[in-house]
Amino acid sequence: MEREELFRKISIENEKKIVLLVLDGLGGLPVDGKTELETARTPNLDLLAAESELGLSHPIAPGITPGSGPAHLSLFGYDPLKYEIGRGILEALGVGIEVGAKSVAVRGNFATLENGLITDRRAGRISTAKNREIIAYLHEKIKKIEDVEIGLYSGEEHRFVLLLTGEALSDQLSDADPEATGRPILYTRAKGKAAAKTARIINNFIDRLTAELTDFYPANTCLLRGFAKYPAIPSLGELFKLKAAAIAVYPMYKGLAQLVGMDILETGRTIEDQLDTLKKHYAEYNFFFVHIKKTDSYGEDGNFAGKVSVIEEFDRWLPEILELTPDVLVVSGDHSTPALLKAHSWHPNPVLLKASFQRQTLNSRVKFSEKNCVSGILGTFYAMDVLPMMMANALKFKKYGA
């Protein structure tokens, strides 16, 4: 019996509330002896940790650095090796694009090109307003390549979505992203004959966009990755009988939540806004996914102090979540993003689980940190087991077998 068949068989409905709080890229590496989480002043998280179960989770497998898509899928209880979902579809759904059977969605970054080399993969994190200005300009300049319609949609800051719509398109393409600065533009390659046409269209698009953006420095070229058609994936309602909602700011995370059947609750841009949304809708759902993005953004920028400040801000708002008295609460990350590396990493995520039926050892001196999670009662496990553990603690699983 596969995991999904098991979940369908033993899941039951009840009124117990589950809240999954994801501080994107939470895990870190020591700078001057401490990680970002160890450096942050987190009195509320530390009090919670003292009466919770702690552990570490691997998003994919030990030593594997995950993207945000598979890392979140894993947290939602799905096998990320079974469901390989391109980031393009997640970004597209997140900004409200309908992706049909003849379409391929692509996640784009505006980037900076100088003397033939990529010098900034995020174009200085241009403002979302500037992004919209550029997209409006490009919309008039690049409408069609060969017989393929070109759709362009703004995301947050430097991100955008490219949607190709036409006949005989394929998502079997390599990323057009060198994934490092100091390198030239990288064009996509078809992974088979059926993708040759799509690769040609994509590479033509990169050249045309770059030619059009000569006056838009630092956003004067693009990086493209996550080529994807609409996938088939069972919903959280089907697998776990959950009525689930997502509270997220960035389109990609809204898209992923929508893909697994969550309702998307519109919210403001601050942590305070997101928690107000949680409180407003708390009676309507029994599972909430709350996504905090800036921990990851600062990690990718190498901004250690900035990442610390977001963790501390989250900690100040934590008591308002605890006042809702969820039956099961998990605080974790989707992956680690150490400021030291300026990138996602393979290091396991710190996990805190608070529930009525947990095993716990009260220790008033516990700090919620990677170091203390290493010796936590949960041990080190796969992130796709987080949701089943939450389900069990919410008494949403019946016994398996006689």
Q: 132 in a domain, yes or no?
A: yes
Same domain, 104 and 25: no
pLDDT of residue 363: 64
| Cβ-defined contacts of 144-150 (< 8 Å, 24+) | 145/201, 145/204, 145/205, 145/208, 146/197, 146/200, 146/201, 146/204, 148/201, 150/205
Q: 402 in a domain, yes or no?
A: no
**Does this model's pTM top 0.95?**
no
Same domain, 254 and 341: yes
Residue 292: half-sphere exposure toward Cβ, Cα within 13 Å = 28
Same domain, 324 and 375: yes
Question: Tokens 């990680």 belong to which residue?
Answer: 35
CA distance 287 to 280: 14
Question: Tokens 């995991």 belong to which residue?
Answer: 3
pLDDT of residue 251: 85
CA distance 265 to 269: 12
> Which of these three, 165, 195, 228, is where a domain ends?
228
Question: Tokens 């991100």 belong to which residue?
Answer: 159
Question: CB neighbours (10 Å) of residue 240?
Answer: 27
Q: 13 in a domain, yes or no?
A: yes
> Which of these three, 199, 228, 257, is where a domain ends?
228
Contacts with 247 (C-beta within 8 Å, 6 or more apart), sequence order: 265, 267, 274, 277, 278, 288, 289, 290, 291
Same domain, 98 and 219: yes
User: Which residues are 222's β-sheet partners?
Assistant: 110
Question: CB neighbours (10 Å) of residue 367?
Answer: 17
pLDDT of residue 230: 87
CA distance 350 to 36: 12
The CATH number covering residue 313 comes to: 3.40.720.10
Q: Is 123 left (phi over 0), alpha (psi -120 to 50) or beta?
A: left
CA distance 68 to 90: 10
Q: Give the angle 135-268-285 at the CA atoms, nearest 5°.
A: 120
Same domain, 360 and 321: yes
Q: 398 in a domain, yes or no?
A: no
Q: What is the block-wise mean pLDDT of the chain (402 residues), using blocks of 10 residues?
A: 93 97 98 97 96 96 95 96 87 86 94 97 95 96 96 94 96 95 96 96 98 96 94 93 96 89 95 97 98 96 97 98 98 98 97 90 79 93 98 97 86
Same domain, 74 and 17: yes
Question: CB neighbours (10 Å) of residue 307?
Answer: 30
CA distance 58 to 80: 11
Q: 35 in a domain, yes or no?
A: yes
pLDDT of residue 331: 98
> Which of these three, 212, 228, 244, is where a domain ends?
228
CA distance 402 to 398: 11
Same domain, 267 and 122: no
Q: How many domains does the chain divide into?
A: 2
Dig out the tokens for 169 from the structure: 């398109």
Q: 399 in a domain, yes or no?
A: no
CA distance 121 to 111: 5
Domain that holds residue 60: 3-82+234-393
CA distance 285 to 305: 35
Same domain, 140 and 188: yes
Same domain, 99 and 211: yes
Dig out the tokens for 398 from the structure: 């019946």
- Fill in the amino acid letter for 400: Y
Are the beta carbons of 110 and 134 closer than 8 angstroms?
yes
Same domain, 220 and 238: no
Note the Cα 322 to chain centre separation in Å: 24
Q: 111 in a domain, yes or no?
A: yes
Same domain, 120 and 214: yes
pLDDT of residue 334: 97
Same domain, 114 and 76: no
pLDDT of residue 361: 63
Are the beta carbons of 93 and 254 closer than 8 angstroms?
yes
